[in-house]
Structure 1
Amino acid sequence: MSYLISDLAALAGVSARTLRYYDQIGLLHSTGKTGSGYRQYDEEAVLRLQQICFFKQFNLPLKQIGLIMRLPLSERENQLRMHRHLLVDQQRQLTQLITTLDAALQLNQQGDSIMTDEKKFAAFKQTQVTQNAHDFGSEVTEKWGDAALVDANQQYLGLSQKDMADARVIETEMIDKLVLVIDSKNENSEMAHEVVELHRKWLNYFWPSYSTTAHKGLAQLYVSDQRFKNYYRDKSKRNRAAIVLNSLIQRYA
């Protein structure tokens, strides 16, 4: 079955102008034209448009969608399966958040202690795990395998509130000392060694096991990945924070 551009636009809930733009940028070409010059789309084009609509729902930019749509069908379907897993995780998070919120509202209304302190924050931790997997999961699995990501997630979910608080204190101390090293321009000081040791202690809260190789590998991401650069820049208010931290870890870890 083939569709005129207006019919396909109505079917997919997009504008004909959008379809013409997709054709213009090579994202979705029409597969023919009527005698009157109207674009037509066959079943394969309909399937491609459905996939494009899915990827747009995943908030992917058109440039990235274009790269995905150049892949063979099987690889595009693998991309969709990956995003399905993320959606299932998000669905699970929302269910847990709603359950936690309902319990919290019941607590506020009745004044009963129906939730442990750990349960009060479990849903938020699960949300963070899923967000981390979305943001950094591909890098972790590429470098250290799927098992490393699963183990790290379990480690994080098992942290107590005291563990989380202690980890934040250590990270804050590490950042403060990193700032002193940056400002002193002395990477050979005792303070520089302390920065690396504090970073190692902080990692041990989130990693099931520690290795120097993994520590140095993570530090390399601090200078190659803009997200890490931004994180340490914002934490320290120093533009070179990620670069200096990586340098210290490569020397002293």
Structure 2
Amino acid sequence: MTWTVPNILTVMRLLAAPMIAVMFLYFTRPYADWFALILFISAAITDYIDGYLAREWKQETKLGAMLDPIADKAMVVIALMVIVGYSSMSPWLVLPATFILFREVFVSGLREFLGDVAGTLKVTKLAKWKTTAQMVAISVLFAQGVFEHYFGMSVYGMDEAMVADILSGREEDVLGLWWKAAGMVWTGHVGMWLLWVAAALTLLSGADYLSKAMPHLKDEKP
């Protein structure tokens, strides 16, 4: 086992994955949303850095090749679980999140079944794009959670205090609330559509892997 800098970054990303859920157990919101957002973005950045350093420093190892996709999947799966569980937009996020989780489980099972042959199913550019789309969508959705709880609003409405401020007719309050609501709605809707894009790319990459694996799944003729 070789503990190179890229491998250390990969292990840190793997350990950060469950910490996203832990944030919501030990911190109140919006602090949990802030910590989860910062942690997720930091982990997503290391996903690029460790791969770049491994190639540039010629430190590609079997440990890194094994842990890197596991860390990516763990980050995405746990983050989606937290977002669907805590976001007020969860009814609109369940289906794309389901598609993403289904693909990850399906491809993992496919690789496990193929065993040594799975090495022929190399990571494609489409798979890299889907990972990027997932990371961006999840980051935006965590940001929406910050807006939602920091400003005391939900996607479906405002609390009683905000309604009272608007009805009071104070211009500065109305303008401030408008900007807060606009930020919350913007991040929520953009995050939702980005997640749908990520889900579409995820399903396409899954279908691509399946088509490439089909020759290895045929029964031998007696």
Fold match (TM-score > 0.5): no
Q: Which has the higher contact order (CA 8 A, sep 6+)?
A: 2
TM-score normalised to structure 2 length: 0.30
Larger Rg: 1
- Structure 1 or 2: more helix by fraction: 2
TM-score normalised to structure 1 length: 0.27
